[in-house]
Structure 1
Amino acid sequence: MTRRIIDARLHLLSRQVLDVDGEPVTTVEDLELRGADGGDVVAGEPAHVAAILSGPVLVTRILGGRPPQSRWERIAWSAVSHLGTVVELDVEASTLDVDWPERWLREHVVRRIPGGQHDPEGES
């Protein structure tokens, strides 16, 4: 396994996450870090990304604070296959709980918009 040092704010936070089929899943809102031994992170010691965290952060970004730990959805870092302009996963979105807001919006909002039930690029 090759190691790569990245700037989390520049290369990860707010990036779109795509599943193995290229479908949007979520965005990276925060990261879960672990120490080199798998325990808690100690200042000045090496750490690694254990999981991508996503969740309801809009209100907390506007009003301040952080969502409770129970509200975060986690995607194990081991599911990440490529890190580029987007974060690509090697699993399908349906195997993750994190894409429920995308599904809910698609089923309850977008579907009700005229033309929201078909792919405009698929038309000739």
Structure 2
Amino acid sequence: MTRERLVDARLHLLSRQVLDADGEPVRAVDDLELTGPDGQEARPGEAAQVGAILVGPTLFTRLFGGAVPASRLPRIAWSDVAHVGTAIELSVRSDELDADWVELWLRDHVVGRLPGGRHDAEADG
């Protein structure tokens, strides 16, 4: 049996920290993917529910323009959410998610190409 809870998305979800099952920070909620009661795309004027939370590169697209392809939007399925409180707590570990692909890509293709970008500066000192 599933429990339904009515939440105000702006108040309870958006910009909240997401923690994995171990309590480790994953990302912050940037946006929501809504679905209709039948699991299909939500339609205006009809009941909707959260299908996934999006934790992606929306800041990059606001700064630099363009749009992330829908297939590459980092999403966390709502079924992986264990608790909504001061933070969004997940029932899965972060290494089971595909939410960090942007950071990994930037690390490998941008930061890693900078002088000194492939080592931990704090470990040197």
TM-score, length-normalised on structure 1? Answer: 0.76
Conservation of the 8 A alpha-carbon contact between 2:52 and 2:77: yes
TM-superposed deviation, 1:63: 5.4
Q: Letter of the 2:51 partner, please give it.
A: A
Over 3 Å counting, the alpha-carbon distance change for 1:32 and 1:112 in structure 2 is same
Over 3 Å counting, the alpha-carbon distance change for 1:64 and 1:11 in structure 2 is farther
Matching of residues 104-119 of structure 1 within 5 Å: 112-114=120-122
Q: Determine the C-alpha separation between the residues in 2 that align with 1:25 and 1:86.
A: 11
Partner of 1:34: 35
TM-superposed deviation, 1:116: 8.6
Q: How big is the alpha-carbon RMSD for the aligned residues of Structure 1 and Structure 2?
A: 2.8
Q: What is the total number of aligned residue pairs between the two structures?
A: 115
SS at match of 1:88: strand
**Structure 1 spans left out of the alignment, 5+ residues:** 118-124
2:70 is the counterpart of 1:69: yes
Partner of 1:78: 79
Conservation of the 8 A alpha-carbon contact between 2:74 and 2:100: no
Q: Letter of the 1:72 partner, please give it.
A: L
Q: State the percentage of identical aligned residues.
A: 53
Conservation of the 8 A alpha-carbon contact between 1:56 and 1:71: no
SS at match of 1:114: helix
Over 3 Å counting, the alpha-carbon distance change for 1:69 and 1:63 in structure 2 is same
Partner of 1:88: 89
Conservation of the 8 A alpha-carbon contact between 2:52 and 2:78: yes
**Structure 2 spans left out of the alignment, 5+ residues:** none
Q: Determine the C-alpha separation between the residues in 1 that align with 2:80 and 2:73.
A: 17
Over 3 Å counting, the alpha-carbon distance change for 1:78 and 1:66 in structure 2 is same
SS at match of 2:89: strand
